[in-house]
Structure 1
Amino acid sequence: MGNYVKFRSLLFAVALVFVFSACSQKSEKVKEFDKPALYWYNKMIKEISTGYLEDADDTYISLESEHRNSPLLSTALLVLANAHIDEEEYELANFYLDEYIKRYALSKNIDYVRYLKIKANFQGFAYDLRDQQLIEDTIAQIEEFRKSFPRSPYTPLVNTMSARLYMAKANLDKEIADLYSRLDKPEAAKYYNEKVKKSWVNPKEIEPVEVPFYRYPFERNLF
């Protein structure tokens, strides 16, 4: 009986330690406000480096809310954008890039931010045969980039993505033209074949999109 009482007392003591520890952590978390900008920034960097990207997003909100004019905000936006690109979370990356452009449109490195937006879109093509609008939008962004930043060091990278996007666009138009040919609609097929010629100099150079075997029946049924 004595051992049983001791065992229950030990369990009770352990439970109390757990409860107080949890309450302490919760209290500490609740008290996290009204901190210097550098505190929030360093906390965000640590969370990104340890893989807690969602926590880093929340920490940025605290930084932005408490220090709207901090010079650390611009760097924080770029760090988060790059982190989300690395994690293939392109919509969130674009959110931070758009926020940067809205706040710092006259920044000296705005060409880098515009390049990152093009890169995020380029890497974000989930299905090469379906993202027609995204292809069109990104090509338009590339043309705007070339006009706005003709001497940017990122131009060669943008040009490389441009060539691949035009090939993807030509490939898509060629697939649509082939579909209309199979459906015995020569006028529509001719229209898209003309688009192919405008998209790419030599249609014979167009490389077909490689479709994974598990998507092949669905993609080819579309075209």
Structure 2
Amino acid sequence: MKKQVVCIATLALLFAGCSSKNISEYNKPDIYWYQKMVRYVSSSDLDKADEYFTSLQSEHFSSPLLKEAMLIMAQAHMDNEEYLMAKYYLDEFIKRYGNDRNVAFAKFLKIKASFLAFKNINRDQKLLQDTIAEAESYKKEYIQNEYMPMVDTMLTKLYMAQYVLNEEIAALYERRGKMKAAKIYRERVKHSWLKKDEIDVPTNWYDYLINW
């Protein structure tokens, strides 16, 4: 009987400890959540960092720390090759802090995230077209800013990828005897400002864009 009482008391203390630990993770100042988030970003535990960001945003929606926290989380997910999550944070940043300079920077990072997400020229054709359109739209919206040289570099590499893709599709249609379809892609190649002898295609598709 005494053993049962001891066991029950021990379990009660254990659950009480767990409960008090959970309760202690509420109603904290914004700097607490921010520092916890940064700590887990530094240790590459982005799931935990996301949780602490959510707590920061939920409990301190008007905190001045949120602006920087969103950019930290966007960059952290980008570094971890989680590009959709990176773009989610950037979209939230634009909604909350959308003045001209901030939006230009956030949209540049979104283009960079899309660019880095490109892995395979044959599998990611829609991403290729969407990123080209995104970069061209950026150039029209922001005629000149400090990010434009990097946007131009990414766009040039994307156009190189598009050129090679059109070449490959045309060759594929020709091998299958579908000359009308092949002609469409040959025309696209013909009217490109790029020339085939100017493009040295690496064997690795990721290197194709990143290390060209």
TM-score (norm 1): 0.81
1:128–1:209 CA contact under 8 A, matched in 2: no
What's the counterpart of residue 92 of structure 2? 99
1:154-195: per-residue Cα shift (whole Å, max 9, x none)?
A: 111111111100011111111100001101111111110111
Alignment of 1:1-223 (within 5 A): 20=13, 24-106=17-99, 108-208=101-201, 210-211=203-204
Q: Which of the pair has more CA radius of gyration?
A: 1
Aligned residues: CA RMSD: 2.5
The code of the aligned residue for 1:187 comes to: K
| Structure 1 portions without partners, runs of 5+ | 1-12, 213-223
TM-score (norm 2): 0.84
Shift of 1:199: 3.8
The code of the aligned residue for 1:57 comes to: D
Q: Distance in 2 between matches of 1:206 and 1:200?
A: 12
Q: Distance in 2 between matches of 1:121 and 1:19?
A: 51
1:115–1:154 CA contact under 8 A, matched in 2: yes
Q: Distance in 2 between matches of 1:53 and 1:26?
A: 24
1:50-82: per-residue Cα shift (whole Å, max 9, x none)?
A: 222111101111111111122211111100000
Q: Distance in 1 between matches of 2:67 and 2:132?
A: 26
Q: Distance in 1 between matches of 2:180 and 2:74?
A: 45
Shift of 1:210: 2.0
Q: Distance in 1 between matches of 2:19 and 2:46?
A: 20
Shift of 1:109: 2.5
| Structure 2 portions without partners, runs of 5+ | 1-5, 206-212
